[in-house]
Copies of this chain bind each other. A is one copy, B any other.
Amino acid sequence: MSRTTSPLDFAPLFAPGLPPPAAKWNGFPKYNFIGGHNDAGQVPLDDLIKTMNDVLAREGRTLATYGVASGPLGYQPLREFLAQKLKRTAGISCGADEILLTSGSLQALDLVNGIFLARGDTVIIEQATYQGALTRLQRLGVEAVGIPLDGEGMRVDALAAALDGLKRRGVRPKYIYTIPTVQNPTGTILSEARRHEMLRLSAQYGVPIFEDDCYCDLIWDGKRPPALYAMSEHGGVIHIGSFSKSVAPALRVGYIVAPWPLLSRMLALKTDAGSGALEQMVLGEFCPAHFDAHVPVLKRALRAKLETLMDALNEHFGTSAEFEDPKGGIFLWVKFPEQVETLKLFAPALAAGVAINPGAEWSTDQSYGKNRTRLCFANPSHETIRAGIAALAEVCRREFGVPARIANVERRRASKTPQNPRAT
């Protein structure tokens, strides 16, 4: 007996408020200036393989146990390395038991949001900020109040005014989210004086600070103020970080630093029975021996690519592309003339193989973001950066008349040699 069963229709069963379905992945675009990918040539592969062999030969049988032999906070030797490193580089005094290892700093973001945020809440955030932070807040139904930035990071005068205005309306924001040390996307570093003032405002208004320090290892000159977490007198700071930018993003290892009364709340929401052990184990073995030597080599390679990007923008866009030389990191925040709406530039650029981040998606203020773009330079090769910016200028001129005149790309490229042939 043959029987035909009609397909089950899932649509009426979906939970309300789902985000749109993901698009199928078709590989990376030819000129990829988006995503926090790193420089493939700078993955410290030999040392990672060597330390992986060492740690697995010694402790591999602990893989039979959830949390290996370290419990739910994550691999103990990596937490101990972090406690030392955070003290040395950011002034943070914390024990290994005040650090929770997470699946990248994105899981850290989700856990911090998880303990604080409910629909209708308000948070304070930098006017230009990480798109993933903004989309999470939108999804959670949380209002994000953007504070303008300048060359020293978040403007604390504007922060004070915002906190005061919210208080008058009876609103107590759940946190002040900041990327103070190589801000994403502006590349600024919040000055020490402003850090003091931000902490004073945090205490005055009873609003915690959520400090995302995931780019802090990539400062060109290595100079940074202490972390807000370190400077805090009121214990009202949660600090997160990551190995994605300093070692490799596909490892998916980030961390949260917080006092146990907060960490225990986040741990209760971490229902994945631990993040992947191999990455934690290899980093726990790699970092004490190699991290400090690796990072300067990586930074030189990144700085060279940034120079290439800035040169290419100058060459192909001239004065139509304005930017500040960032203090470190893997991206450049570029301002085009008013008429260049980067949300509208996105599709024709992608059709030409060039992927860019439209500024409007990286800002709480559409009019501020609309003619800006974030360009990530760590992953594409020097040659790809040059060719990609040339292609972007071509599309931008065609769509918006900017830049008015295209440079003679062939002649000028031929006169250049790669600045860093080691980098891929």
> Which A residues contact B (CB, under 8 angstroms)?
3-10, 13-16, 18-25, 27-28, 35-43, 45, 48-49, 52-53, 56-57, 60-68, 71-73, 97, 103-104, 106-107, 110, 114-118, 132, 136, 172, 174-175, 202-203, 206, 208, 233-236, 248-253, 260-262, 264-265, 267-269, 271-279, 282, 378-379, 424
User: 18 A-B residue contacts at CB 8 Å?
Assistant: A8-B202, A19-B268, A25-B72, A38-B65, A39-B64, A40-B61, A42-B64, A52-B52, A52-B56, A61-B424, A64-B249, A104-B273, A106-B271, A250-B276, A252-B274, A252-B277, A253-B276, A276-B278
Top 8 closest pairs, chain A to chain B, by CB: A276-B276, A8-B236, A25-B71, A21-B264, A250-B277, A22-B267, A63-B248, A40-B64
Q: Which of B37, B107, B233 contacts A272 (CB 8 A)?
A: B107
Task: Name the residue of chain B whose CB is nearest to the CB of A7.
Answer: B235
Assembly CA distance A24 to B275 (angstroms): 18
Contact assessment for B20 and A268 in the assembled complex, using a CB-CB cutoff below 8 Å = yes
A14, B115: Cβ atoms under 8 Å?
yes
Copies in the assembly, this chain: 2
By the criterion CB–CB under 8 Å, are B268 and A6 in contact? no
Q: Which residues of B contact A66 (CB under 8 A)?
A: 35-37, 249-250
B73 in contact with A25 (CB, 8 Å): yes
Nearest B-chain residue to A22, judged by Cβ: B267
For A175, what are the chain B residues with a Cβ–Cβ distance below 8 Å?
Answer: 13
Instruction: Report the minimum CB–CB distance from A58 to chain B (whole Å).
Output: 11
Most buried by B among A8, A202, A250, A253: A250
* Residue pair B67, A19 in contact (C-beta under 8 Å): no
Q: Which residue of B lies closest to A175 (CB)?
A: B13
Complex interface: chain B residues within 8 A of A271 (CB): 106, 110, 132, 136
* B56 and A272 contact, CB distance less than 8 A: no
Given contacts A52-B56, A115-B15, contact A68 B250 (CB under 8 A): yes
Give chain B residues whose Cβ lies under 8 Å from the Cβ of A10: 208, 236, 261-262
**A28 to B136 alpha-carbon distance, docked (Å):** 36
Given contacts A9-B206, A43-B63, A276-B103, contact A22 B252 (CB under 8 A): no
Q: Bound complex: CA of A16 vs CA of B121, how far in Å?
A: 12
Shortest beta-carbon distance, A36 to chain B, in Å?
7
Residue of B nearest to A247 (CB): B63
Known: A37-B66, A67-B250. 13 other contacts (CB 8 A): A8-B208, A14-B265, A15-B115, A21-B264, A22-B264, A24-B264, A40-B65, A48-B56, A52-B52, A63-B248, A250-B274, A250-B277, A252-B276
